[in-house]
Amino acid sequence: MKKITLTRKFATLQLSVNELIAMKNALIEVCHRLGSYEFETRVNISEIEAIALANKLRQIIEKPQSEETEIQLTYQEIWGLQGSLVEVYGGISMPNFVEKIGLERAKVLALLEFLRLEVIHKVEKGTLSDLIWQKRKEIVTELGLNSANLKVPRTSAQVIREAYLSIDCYLLLFRLYSLKHTVTFSGIRIVEIVSVENQEVLAQSILQKIEVHFLSELVAYLEVCKDLVRNNEQIKNFILSPYNYDHKNIFHLQVLSGIITSENQGFLKLNFRLNANQDKEYLESPDNYIELEYLVSFEDIDKFTGGICQYLVEFYEA
């Protein structure tokens, strides 16, 4: 039985030695496999912090063994552990999983669920991550998105929708389309174009599949930030960084701040980075990204999220 004690700064967990070994191995594995630029976004802590955490776990593991071992972790460390376990469970191709990690996949999944439900969910209650999660639930309910309706392969006509996002003088077209042999992923092609009338492509995303849940999470993130600005509350640091089927980053989106003008118009300051490098060998480099940063009106954001929501409704009906 896993035991847990939560304080304002720390979580004290009582776990088996094998579980601690799996956590340490997961951290080491992702340190070996992920480039430094993507590491912090993918695993929620820096590479240096991950190595220090692996050493902390190693010291406890090497003590005289008992059936259970108690360890005190900061919440930043817990998020890093969760990120590394997610990577080795679903993100990294690893045929010899048990040999590398030390636990079967099912037990790693159980450990992940424990961290998510008993630690992270309780700690994040009321935080921006929790607000986004709650808002996403509302959106899914409001739009009637029910995955039970979906079948593979899809037998109905392909669903194709477009949504536009204008940042400064740059116009981004999000072209979304259903895929015949999967309901977990959606096709996505993000292109920078000249204008709605002149759709000459100036740059485009090299990665063109996205897990469908990221689309509703994107809408939820922007909606929560608008609510915070309306309520004159500060927007906390958060980066939405969805992956494609190869677990390579598609784009980064961060809401930096927001304002309500004297004319009662609302704006969010967005930082958007598009992974647009056409050379697949260098997908992890900062040089791959086209970076845009500017104020975007609530009205334009509503048009953008409205296009995504329309696509989701049709995607789940098809």
Only one residue has tokens 């990120």, namely 83
Which of 123, 140, 171 is the last residue in one of the domains?
123
State whether 175 and 257 are in the same domain.
yes
State whether 107 and 198 are in the same domain.
no
State whether 245 and 299 are in the same domain.
yes
73: pLDDT strictly greater than 50: yes
Helix axes 298-317, 213-230, angle to 10 degrees: 150
| DSSP letters for 65-79 | P-SEEEEEEEHHHHH
State whether 25 and 157 are in the same domain.
no
Candidate from 188-197, 206-215, 304-313 with smallest mean pLDDT: 206-215
Selected residue with higher pLDDT from 214 and 44: 214
Which of 104, 123, 142 is the last residue in one of the domains?
123
Task: Report the DSSP beta bridge partners of residue 251.
Answer: 274
Helix (H, G, I), strand (E, B) or coil at 185: strand
Using pLDDT thresholds of 50, 70 and 90, give the confidence band for residue 1.
very low
Q: What is the pLDDT of residue 278?
A: 56
Rounded average pLDDT over 55-61:
88
Asked whether 263 and 231 are in contact (CB, 8 A), the reply is no
How far from the centroid of its chain's Cα atoms is residue 85's Cα? 14
The neighbour count for residue 234, using CB atoms within 10 Å, is 9
Rounded average pLDDT over 154-182:
92
The neighbour count for residue 181, using CB atoms within 10 Å, is 8
Cis bond before residue 153 (omega within 30° of 0): yes
Q: What is the pLDDT of residue 287?
A: 60
Rounded average pLDDT over 54-59:
90
Helix-then-strand count for the chain, H and E: 10, 11
The 10s digit of each residue's pLDDT in 243-295 is: 665 556 788 899 999 999 988 899 999 999 888 865 555 545 556 678 899 99
For the entire predicted model, the pTM comes to 0.71
* Domain extent at residue 209: 130-317
Q: What is the pLDDT of residue 245?
A: 57
Helix (H, G, I), strand (E, B) or coil at 162: strand
Only one residue has tokens 């003008």, namely 261
Computed from CA positions of residues 275, 279, 285, 288, in that sequence, does the dihedral angle turn out positive or negative? negative
195: pLDDT strictly greater than 80: yes
Dist CA 51 CA 72 (whole Å): 17
| DSSP letters for 216-252 | HHHHHHHHHHHHHHHTT-PPPP--B--B-TTS-B-EE
314 CB burial (10 A radius; 0-12, 13-18, 19+): middle
Selected residue with higher pLDDT from 194 and 237: 194
Nearest to 244 by CA among 297, 285, 187: 187
State whether 70 and 103 are in the same domain.
yes
Rounded average pLDDT over 159-185:
93
